[in-house]
């Protein structure tokens, strides 16, 4: 299986502008590498065969920019996109950095802060439409609490619902063909507890909206693992529901702070199964990397990080093909799978006798199967 693992535009790899613009600053230390503009990030990603980019509106157009400056930046972005053959596929906005959002934006107690936050998303949708995106992704990083006495979570959900119904109507009113909204769940950090913390919470919430067909989920591997859950299972459920509007790929040690490590760096087997569920389903969306280069590296190291994320995905994609064609694996799976007969009527089911001793003796060679997966990933099986 000789392969150079060189990405192509058809692989549909995507990076958030914020990922490569990251300067290495963290809560305990200042920047370790020079800043990079959003415009320069677009050009550099395009050079590296990246299909598209995602952005916070503020990554490209600073908040408060005059109309003339905004329009000039947008024109320049479009020129660079054409020159580098790179698209924009998703937009959001930064409602977590400014002190005004210290207690949330869409769910703030203050109705004027809520209106300002919705205003930012409306402007982000406009900018996204100009750049050709078809998705506005909402990450509610400050939509939560540390002090439960101060917040009624049910009221917070109602405010979330009001915002999404408003934004859905705005998109419909603007007649933005194919434009959709999504929610990116996260359990905690920077807030103690964030509303809609997992994909299951988000799926339940979407069902209560006025236009549930317009709203989906963008799970992030690190966020799932921060909750101690299995990202493969979470993504599979969202995919099965037809609600996988995007995916953010990265690496994460479970139950830690949000590390945003290079894809596959800490959770190789789980990453393998995430790639498997996406590729087996022939999911048409972009494979977006939402991670940061180590704080210890310089600007060149950032581009090594970009290449590394894509290379790991392509290696795991090759391993998926190997898994799917491996005779040992397929033999075990064939042994396990049984054709399911139609369920009998309740009356017949209640009368049916089951030989539990016989059923309990069913062979489940999971040790053999798991070891085979391990050896495929380790490169022992050829």
Please give the share of the chain, as a percent, with pLDDT higher than 70.
99
271 pLDDT more than 60: yes
Closest C-alpha among 7, 67, 9, 63 to residue 38: 63
Q: With 50 as the cut, is the pLDDT of residue 1 above it?
A: no
Mean of pLDDT values over 160-171: 98
Percent of the chain with pLDDT over 90: 98
Q: What is the model's pLDDT at position 123?
A: 98
Q: Which two tokens stand for residue 182?
A: 């999504």
* Residue range 313-335, pLDDT digits in tens: 999 999 999 999 999 999 999 99
Contact 35, 23 (CB under 8 A): yes
Q: With 80 as the cut, is the pLDDT of residue 150 above it?
A: yes
Stretch (H or E) spanning 313? helix 299-325
Q: Is 103 a catalytic residue?
A: no
pLDDT value, residue 2: 45
Give the tens place of pLDDT for each residue, 336-360: 998 889 999 999 999 999 999 999 9
Element (H, E) at 248: strand 248-249
Question: What's the distance, Cα to Cα, between the start and end of the chain in Å?
Answer: 8
Known active-site residue 56 = yes
Query: 90: which strand partners?
Result: 54
The pTM is what? 0.96
Rounded Cα distance, 151 and 162, in Å: 17
Nearest CA to 193 out of 104, 111, 253, 267 is that of 104
pLDDT at 3: 65
- The rounded mean pLDDT for the chain is 97
Q: Of 26, 59, 98, 292, which residue is the catalytic one?
A: 59
- The per-residue pLDDT for range 221-259, each reduced to its tens digit, is 999 999 999 999 999 999 999 999 999 999 999 999 999
- Residue 237 corresponds to which tokens in the numbers above? 């459920």
Residue 355 vs residues 209, 292, 362: alpha-carbon distances, Å: 47, 55, 12
- Across 68-92, average pLDDT: 98
pLDDT at 144: 97
**Interstrand relation of 193-194 and 144-145 (parallel, antiparallel or unpaired):** antiparallel
**9-324 topology per CATH:** TIM Barrel (3.20.20)
Using 50, 70 and 90 to split pLDDT, how confident is the model at 70?
A: very high
* Mean pLDDT of the 161-175 span: 98
CA–CA distance, 292 with 210 (Å, rounded to integer): 36
Q: Choosing from 3, 11, 56, 213, which is the catalytic residue?
A: 56
Burial 352-376, CB ≥16 within 10 A → b, else e: eeeeeeeeeeeeeeeeebeebbeeb
Contact by Cβ (8 Å): 119, 108: no
Domain ranges in the chain with CATH number 3.20.20.150: 9-324
């Amino acid at each position: 299986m000789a392969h150079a693992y060189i990405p192509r535009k058809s692989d549909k790899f995507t990076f958030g502008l914020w990922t490569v613009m990251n300067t290495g600053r963290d809560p305990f230390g200042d920047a370790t590498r020079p800043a990079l503009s959003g415009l320069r990030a677009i050009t550099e990603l395009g050079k590296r065969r990246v299909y598209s980019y995602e952005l916070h509106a503020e990554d490209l157009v600073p908040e408060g920019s005059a109309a003339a400056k905004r329009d000039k930046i947008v024109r320049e972005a479009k020129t660079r996109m054409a020159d580098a053959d790179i698209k924009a596929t998703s937009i959001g906005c930064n409602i977590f950095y400014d002190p005004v959002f210290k207690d949330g934006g869409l769910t703030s107690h203050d109705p004027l802060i809520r209106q300002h936050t919705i205003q930012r998303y409306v402007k982000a949708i406009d900018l996204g439409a100009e750049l050709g995106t078809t998705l506005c992704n909402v990450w509610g990083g400050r939509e939560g609490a540390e002090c439960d006495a101060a917040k009624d979570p049910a009221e917070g959900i109602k405010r979330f619902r009001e915002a999404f119904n408003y934004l859905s109507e705005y998109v419909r009113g603007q007649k933005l063909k194919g434009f959709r909204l999504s929610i990116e769940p996260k359990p905690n950090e920077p807030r103690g507890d964030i509303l809609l913390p997992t994909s299951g919470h988000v799926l339940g919430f979407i069902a209560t909206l006025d236009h549930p067909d317009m709203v989906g989920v963008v799970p992030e591997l690190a966020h799932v693992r921060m909750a101690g859950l299995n990202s493969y299972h979470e993504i599979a459920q969202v995919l099965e529901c037809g609600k996988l509007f995007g995916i953010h790929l990265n690496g994460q040690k479970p139950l830690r702070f949000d590390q945003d490590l290079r894809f596959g760096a800490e959770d190789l087997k789980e990453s393998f199964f995430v790639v498997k569920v996406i590729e087996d389903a022939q999911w048409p969306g972009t494979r977006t990397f939402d991670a940061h280069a180590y704080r210890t590296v310089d600007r060149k190291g950032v581009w090594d990080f970009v290449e590394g994320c894509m290379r790991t995905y392509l290696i795991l994609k090759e391993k998926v093909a190997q898994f799917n064609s491996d005779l040992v694996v397929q033999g075990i799976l064939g042994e396990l799978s049984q054709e399911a007969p139609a369920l009998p009527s309740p009356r017949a089911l209640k009368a049916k006798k089951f030989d539990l001793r016989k059923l309990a003796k069913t062979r489940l060679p999971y040790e053999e199967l798991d070891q085979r997966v391990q050896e495929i990933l380790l490169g022992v099986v050829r």
